[in-house]
Amino acid sequence: MKFIVLTLFKEMFDPFVNTSIIKRAIEKGIVSIDVVDIRSFTKDKHNRVDFPPYGGGSGMIMSAEPLGAAIDFAIDSLKDDGYYEILYMSPRGKVLNYNLAKEISSKKCNYIIICGHYEGIDERIIDEYNVKEISIGDYVLTGGELACQVLMDSVIRLLPGAISEDSLTEESHTNNLLEYPQYTKPYEFRGRKVPEILLSGHHKNIAEYRKQEAIRITKKFRPELIDKKIDNNDSK
Ligand SMILES: C[S@@+](CC[C@H](N)C(=O)[O-])C[C@H]1O[C@@H](n2cnc3c(N)ncnc32)[C@H](O)[C@@H]1O
């Protein structure tokens, strides 16, 4: 899977592509992430990429000209790689959750992701390129860069080979359950011991204990997920 990220702040992606699981996924060839500076496409003599909104109002809007040229460049770089979609990180978009991350990771598709900044982008980009908008939650960030990293991270870890299959199957939000509590060494921490059953070596009992704990934790923190799970099972 290929991601081409369009941003005014390329440097914000340096730690993302150079750390941990994402770095390894890139090294293994599971994913590629190209980060493109929208400013390099401006024809403005002062290198400007944003202007005040027509009709007045506060802040600046990212101009359609350099952004359109950056998108055309990205489309051209993907021309031999099959299907692609253009996404815009936006507080008004479809809210990211596990199912959406799964859907994006499962498609045979490459993605061009636009990161907005200031007051956002000229609306005509959305119409011209049939852009899909994705939000990472009902709040407003300064820019789309962190949102884009959240989206890519949630998608990349679901790509085959990025992390072990076992880690994925019992993770929070798979099957509409949150993960059971986890423990590691030392056995005793400030008088608190690891539950004895986890030391028993009895895999079936441990699996059942963890399942019950996952249900308990989900009921405690996100009871609405349990209702969804019951609905899904009923409809099968
Ligand atoms: C300050 S915001 C613009 C907010 C916009 N004026 C509005 O009221 O909807 C700047 C950029 O941050 C990004 N952004 C902000 N909040 C976001 C969110 N919840 N999810 C995804 N991207 C977000 C978008 O790319 C947006 O263009």
pLDDT at 233 over 90: no
Rounded Cα distance, 194 and 184, in Å: 8
The model's pLDDT over 200-223, given as tens digits with 9 standing for 90+, comes to: 999 999 999 999 999 999 999 999
Q: Is 117 in the pocket of ligand 1 (CB under 6 A)?
A: yes
The amino acid present at 57, given as its one-letter code, is: G
* 78 and 184, same domain (yes or no): no
3-state SS track over the chain:
CEEEEEECCHHHHHHHHCCHHHHHHHHCCCCEEEEEEHHHHCCCCCCCCEECCCCCCCCCEECHHHHHHHHHHHHHHCCCCCCEEEEEEEEEEEECCHHHHHHHHHCCCEEEEEECCCCCECHHHHHHHCCEEEECCCCCCCCHHHHHHHHHHHHHCCCCCCCCHHHHHCCCCHHHCCCCCCCCCCCEECCEECCHHHHCCCHHHHHHHHHHHHHHHHHHHCHHHHHHHHHHHHCC
Q: Is 144 in the pocket of ligand 1 (CB under 6 A)?
A: yes
* 69 and 148, same domain (yes or no): yes
Q: Is 115 in the pocket of ligand 1 (CB under 6 A)?
A: yes
- Binning pLDDT at 50, 70 and 90, where does residue 171 land? confident
- Binning pLDDT at 50, 70 and 90, where does residue 185 land? very high
Rounded Cα distance, 192 and 223, in Å: 27
Q: Which of 60-64, 90-94, 171-175 has the lowest mean pLDDT?
A: 171-175
The model's pLDDT over 35-70, given as tens digits with 9 standing for 90+, comes to: 999 999 999 999 999 999 999 999 999 999 999 999
The sign one gets for the Cα dihedral 22, 24, 27, 30 is: negative
What region does 152 belong to: left with phi over 0, alpha with psi -120 to 50, or beta?
A: alpha
Structural domains in the chain (count): 2
Global pTM?
A: 0.94
* 83 and 38, same domain (yes or no): yes
* 92 and 202, same domain (yes or no): no
Q: What is the CATH number of the domain that holds 111?
A: 3.40.1280.10
pLDDT at 236 over 50: no
What atom of ligand 1 comes closest to residue 120's alpha carbon? 27
Domain extent for 65: 2-156
* 215 and 135, same domain (yes or no): no
62, 131 contact by CB (below 8 A): no
Q: Separation of 121 CA from ligand 1 center, angstroms? A: 9
* 187 and 135, same domain (yes or no): no
163 domain residue, yes or no: no
Which of 131, 156, 181 is the last residue before a domain boundary?
Answer: 156
**Which of 87, 121, 134, 140 maximizes ligand 1 atoms within 8 Å of its Cβ, making it the mutation to test the pocket?**
140
Q: Separation of 225 CA from ligand 1 center, angstroms? A: 27
